[in-house]
Amino acid sequence: MKSLVYYGSKDVKIEEINAPEVTQGTVKVKVKFAGICGTDLHEYLHKSFVTENKMILGHEFTGEIVEVAKNVTKFKAGDRVAIEPIWGCGECETCRTGNYNICPDMKSYGIHENGGFAEYVVVKESNVFLLPESLSYEYAALVEPLAVVLQAIRKSKFKIGDRVALFGAGPIGLLLSESLRAAGASKIFVAEVSEERRELALKMGADVVINSLEEDAVQVIKEHTNGGVDVSFDVAGVEATFNQSLDVIKPNGELMIVSVFANPIKYHPTTQVIGEKKINSSLGYNNIFPQAIDLLSKGSLNVEPVITSIINLDNIVEDGFEKLINDKKECKILVRPS
């Protein structure tokens, strides 16, 4: 089968390898679409999380089951499915309380085991979720990033009627903006340096977009809100956006960190203390894939604008990774393996 094999930073190759075979408790999926995530891009540029060379990347994928192991009872060949890529050890305290996303031994397809940038992938039955016929494979490829967004909202202090600010309008930021709109945010501010992504934000829930290279985003938002928002979300993961996200919330407001920071940052704790501001964080998701599937299948969210390109696996380096690095008009690129 055709697959994208990862050897290291900037060292990936399209190769023909043997298709995987089902083992006990697994199903074989013919991948229809796989999304390129920021984590994939980070690994392409700077190896961080991938544990082995010769790994098939890709953890946002959906497809059709073509084979099931004999002991699999919940699924059959022909089922349309989305794959939750992560799992925990199942034995530690965090797993026992349902928080397997922060298990110290958490694993993921596309990082620790072969993922979805291939024609076929074998996954555990427990990581598979049925898709309704009303949900296209293209939109189903967004279930995983949408789950990240829903988890962050669920863990935050956000409530209907709140005013919110988002710093960063990549795929997660855009899905977050649209989800907050659907959840009842009364005012949504999005700060983003890319003109194209600011335009996308206006299509996906944002009321006010700010070019933070030309305007003081914190000042603009405070002027519009008489002192600050209820909840801010850092979806960029750099020092500047962290400090802006903290500064822009009102006293007793909350900063929710959704991004993964590549480098350490500096901040002044007094900025937080004098307003009794809260800092919270969210990593991935747990027990929320069914809700993400339901929201997408019902059409509750306008997600079409976030998908900016669909490409073939053969062209994933030039039209996928490199384009996302160099062309900010691109947002979520879906890969078609065959």
Q: What is the pLDDT of residues 195-229, one digit of tens each?
A: 999 999 999 999 999 999 999 999 999 999 999 99
Question: Which residues lie below 8 Å from residue 199, measured CB to CB, with a gap of 6+?
Answer: 209
Taking the C-alpha atoms of 74, 75, 80 and 84 in order, what is their torsion angle to the nearest 10 degrees? 60
Q: Is 180 exposed, middle or buried (0-12, 13-18, 19+ CB in 10 A)?
A: buried
Q: 304: part of which helix (H) or strand (E)? A: none
pLDDT tens, residue by residue, 248-261: 999 999 999 999 89
In order of 19, 85, 120, 142, the CA distances from 314 in angstroms are 17, 23, 15, 21
Residue written as token pair 């900037």 = 10
Q: 263: part of which helix (H) or strand (E)? A: none
| pLDDT interval class at 50 (50, 70, 90) | confident
* CATH class, 157-281 region: alpha beta
pLDDT at 338: 87
Averaged pLDDT score across all residues of the chain? 96
Judge whether 118 and 31 are in contact, CB under 8 Å.
yes
Secondary structure of residue 254 in the 3-state scheme: strand
Domain boundaries, the chain: 2-146+285-336, 157-281
Partners of 60 in beta bridges: 35
User: Looking at the predicted structure, is the pLDDT value of residue 32 above 80?
Assistant: yes
| pLDDT interval class at 140 (50, 70, 90) | very high
User: Looking at the predicted structure, is the pLDDT value of residue 52 above 90?
Assistant: no
More confident residue, 82 or 52: 82
Sign of torsion over alpha carbons 189, 194, 200, 204: negative
Judge whether 131 and 140 are in contact, CB under 8 Å.
yes
Note whether 2-146+285-336 and 157-281 share their fold.
no
Question: Six-digit token pair at 245?
Answer: 């996200």
In this structure, of 49-58, 103-112, 288-297, the range with the lowest mean pLDDT score is 49-58
What proportion of the chain, given as a percentage, has pLDDT over 70?
Answer: 99
User: Looking at the predicted structure, is the pLDDT value of residue 47 above 90?
Assistant: no
In degrees, rounded to 5, the angle at the alpha carbon of residue 301 between the alpha carbons of residues 295 and 306 is 120
2-146+285-336 has which CATH code?
3.90.180.10
Average pLDDT over residues 111-123: 97
User: What is the Cα–Cα distance from 56 to 54, expressed in whole angstroms?
Assistant: 7
Secondary structure of residue 105 in the 3-state scheme: coil
